[in-house]
Amino acid sequence: MSETLERPDLKVVGTRPIRPDGADKVTGRAAYGADYNMPGQLVGKVLRSPHAHARIVAIDTRKARAIPGVKAVITGADLPEVASALHQGGEAASNMRDLAMNVMARDKALYEGHAVAAVAAISAAKADEALAAIEVTYEILPHVIEVEDAMRPDAPVLHPHVFTEGLEAKPDKASNIVKRSGFNRGDVAEGFASADVVVEGRYTTQPVHQGYIEPHATVASWGADGQCVVWASSQGQFMVQTYCAKVLGLENSNIRVIPAEIGGGFGGKTTVYLEPLALALSRAGGAPVKMVMTRDEVFRATGPTSGSVMYVKLGAKSDGTIVAADIELKFQAGAYAGSPVAQGCMTALACYDVANFTITGWDVVTNTPKVAAYRAPGAPIAAFAVESAVDELARKLNIDPIAIREKNAVVSGGKAPYGPTYQNIGYVETLAALKASDHYKIPLGPNQGRGMAVGFWFNIGGLSTGAIHVQEDGSVVVATSNPDIGGSRASMAMMAAETLGVPVEKVRPVIPDTASIGFSMLTGGSRTTYATGMAVVQAAERVVADLKRRAAALWDTAVENVEWKDGVATCLDAAKPDARPLPLARLAATAGRTGGPISAEASINAQGAGPGFGAHLCDVEVDPETGQVTVLRYTAAQDVGRAIHPSYVEGQVQGGAAQGVGWALNEEYVFDRDGRMENPGFLDYRVPVASDLPMIDAILVEVPNPRHPYGVKGVGEVPIVPPLAAVANAVRGATGVRIPDLPLSPPRIMAAMEKAQG
């Protein structure tokens, strides 16, 4: 259970008020993407490639167009060519040509599920009939799924224009290897030569999906005057606006995007799939078009995160000091460039102060869906390999797993492996919290094992807008342009209330559309409570300054004589003994006399986001007869800066840990020999459910970030980084066998145990 910092001066921050979105969600009133409907809307559907890699020779849509009730049929030929150019539309740069080609294939289908045509009709049945009537002539090409297969010189090449970046010699042949990246420090050979102990291993992970409950859904309406409206569930209404504009060659101002309630994103809704198609179909069909993916489509056509192959070699002195590391990461990017391997490289050793290392990453395209962001992209994968290797090192040296991490821990003032100096980090504090937990002291029984692992994520700031509008009765609306995927409405309302000095119940948080508030980068990167929260606080501070000015005007005194406290202006001017205190409601009611409506908007580029660290402890029991793993106990300690609403922060930690446990134990894409996914549903792709997990104990460690007015650090991504290895290390403890391949499914565990027993 959390014990957050005492801050007697804070009345709202750090408390646990009722969540503002709670009633709508539990009563069914919340309007998600699929809940929007327009009069006269058509049903849009997508025809998807049944082949993992195929040239599209011809698409004949004549029969489909002739079906009564079919109002529009589009293919790649109906969409504009988009130039290859990077655009900073989301968080990292995305290639707009790749984005457009992923939305709708042109000359080649690059994975099973790749969109090749789309229809809009008066009913779902008519749309299905139209899809069946479209005749696509494919030339089936050899495909490649596994990352090391795709790296071979004789592998089928997905993109003839891709030549590997980052090599010393410029390649003269196209390759599936898009890029090599990496970092070095010190002399690795010398480091290993000085080591008393060396561990080495090859580790693999499979692609896993974010597993959000709500499928992608949108309604789009193209007006006769070219003004478009899109209702969509996403992690950023401005992201949807920009990406639709780029894919369709429109101006942003002609597209108004109205954000729906979002039923989970976890990074997977930081791009577009349906929205540009719905707009194009609406233009062609002359009516609004609604599109909702099936779960099958979500799995086959939207981005999971990468599968990987990793090699880790660590060298240490007998006292546990890690003196050398040699790490190679190979990540699947899916059909287009852009796996999170660079982030994997940057985070792989981020918890460790190692004098000599080399880390190399390979970004490799494969005939699988283009990967999308998934909480702390790349970091859980790299941490699985590194934390497993550190566990092996601790076992070889007979050192406590927390002690070996303390021995090599990065601290404030030390250099991150990727270069910069760490400031105000709370890593060793999380290790101490885990060591002091009751969990760490509980003895284990037969067939049980305990694993621990640590993790890091950068957290970012960025462009954000927050607005405060004081209503006529003195209640307050706080408006921000970030969809709420993890409790940001609560934290925005609380920070606004704290700054204004009013009860949080007086503050209503809302998320307007793109035409009604200034720009914000999408919700992701653990940035919203930090960056958008900073904008909200600045807007609230402007309102307070304005209120003091208004009170001074009413009292006919200097503004310096006005104190604002607990939502009330008090006159400190000794010459005005009759000046009565002016509460916010009174100032709001008389706003016309003092200059008009009371509101302020702050648009900022927030810098100074502090990185986060987490340390997780997991106990499992492995059934020796079936290989079934039961998670007995799970504790996660994390430096969160300062928790604005501790319950939400604990929820983030618990949710990240739960997803990580699923990644470790069950989740994987299974492809058949033709490159088709065999388990595109939650019966066969098994995410953990409540009955699979114990209560996850979240310990919030608070080392405030001095760059944020309330000390916030991002919290949403760190908790998914350690669990893969924490679970794997626990299974190693329970079985006595190191299984370096995820998921740790019962058949894999049984095979490993049987092999170990000879």
Partner 1 sequence: MAHVTLNAECAAFTGGATEFDIAADSVGRLVTELDRRFPGLGEFVEQRMSVAIDGEIHQDAWISPIGPDSDVYLIPRIGGG
Q: For residues 171-210, which are near partner 1 according to CB under 8 A?
A: 181-184, 210
Report the residue number, 222 or 456, with the smaller CB distance to partner 1. Answer: 456
Question: Residues 306, 343, 366, 532: which binds partner 1 (CB under 8 A)?
Answer: 343
Tell me the site size for partner 1, rule CB under 8 A. 49
How many CB atoms are closer than 10 A to CB 116? 23
Residue 374 interacts with partner 1 (CB under 8 A): yes or no? yes
Q: Which is nearer to partner 1, 264 or 624 (CB)?
A: 264
Beta carbons of 526 and 377 less than 8 angstroms apart? no
Is residue 717 a contact residue for partner 1 (CB under 8 A)?
yes
Is 717 tagged catalytic?
yes
Catalytic residue among 3, 139, 717, 754: 717
Which of 32, 192, 311, 418 binds partner 1 (CB under 8 A)? It is 418
Structure tokens given for 358: 């080399």
Q: What is the DSSP string of 725-740?
A: HHHHHHHHHHHS----
Least Å distance, CB 493 to partner 1, is 23
With H, G, I as helix, E, B as strand and everything else as coil, classify residue 631.
Answer: strand
- The correct pick among 53, 108, 405, 527 for binding partner 1 (CB under 8 A) is 527
75-114 residues in contact with partner 1 (CB under 8 A) are 86, 88, 90-93
Of positions 278, 460, 551, 629, contacts partner 1 by CB under 8 A:
460
Report the residue from 114, 375, 506, 616 that binds partner 1 according to the rule CB under 8 A. 375
Amino acid (1-letter code) at residue 1: M
Question: 131 or 188, CB closer to partner 1?
Answer: 188
In angstroms, rounded to a whole number, what is the distance separating the alpha carbons of residues 522 and 722?
25
Question: Is the backbone peptide bond immediately before 340 cis, with ω within 30 degrees of 0?
Answer: no
The contacts of residue 663 (CB under 8 Å, 6+ apart) are 205, 208, 380, 720, 723, 724, 742, 743
Strands (E), 16-161: 42-48, 54-60, 70-75, 86-87, 94-95, 108-109, 115-121, 135-140
**Residue type at position 417:** P
- As separate numbers, helices (DSSP H) first and strands (DSSP E) second, the chain gives 19, 28
Note whether 731 binds partner 1 by CB under 8 A. Answer: no
Is the four-CA dihedral 706, 707, 709, 713 of positive or negative sign? negative
Burial of 9 (0-12, 13-18, 19+ CB in 10 A): exposed
Q: Does 242 bind partner 1 (CB under 8 A)?
A: no
Distances (CA, A) of 6 to 535, 698, 704, 705: 24, 18, 12, 15
Q: According to CB under 8 A, which residues from 557 to 616 bind partner 1? A: 605, 607-609
By CB under 8 A, tell whether 388 contacts partner 1: no
Give the footprint of partner 1 on residues 630-659 (CB under 8 A). Answer: none
Sheet order of strands, 612-622 included: 448-457, 612-622, 629-639, 696-701
Stretch that binds partner 1, among 42-50, 323-331, 374-382, 729-737 (CB under 8 A): 374-382
Of 78 and 353, nearer to partner 1 (C-beta) is: 353
Question: Of 69, 166, 201, 624, which lies in the binding site for partner 1, with binding defined by CB under 8 A?
Answer: 166
Q: Is 342 in the site for partner 1 (CB under 8 A)?
A: yes
d(CA 359, CA 342): 10
Smallest separation (angstroms) from partner 1 to the CB of 192: 21
Report in angstroms how near the CB of residue 381 gets to partner 1 at its nearest.
Answer: 13
* 681 near partner 1 (CB under 8 A): no
> Which residues are the active-site residues?
717
Q: Which residues of the shown chain bind partner 1 in the complex (CB under 8 A)?
A: 86, 88, 90-93, 166, 181-184, 210, 266-268, 270, 342-343, 346, 373-377, 418-423, 457-463, 524-527, 605, 607-609, 707, 714, 716-717
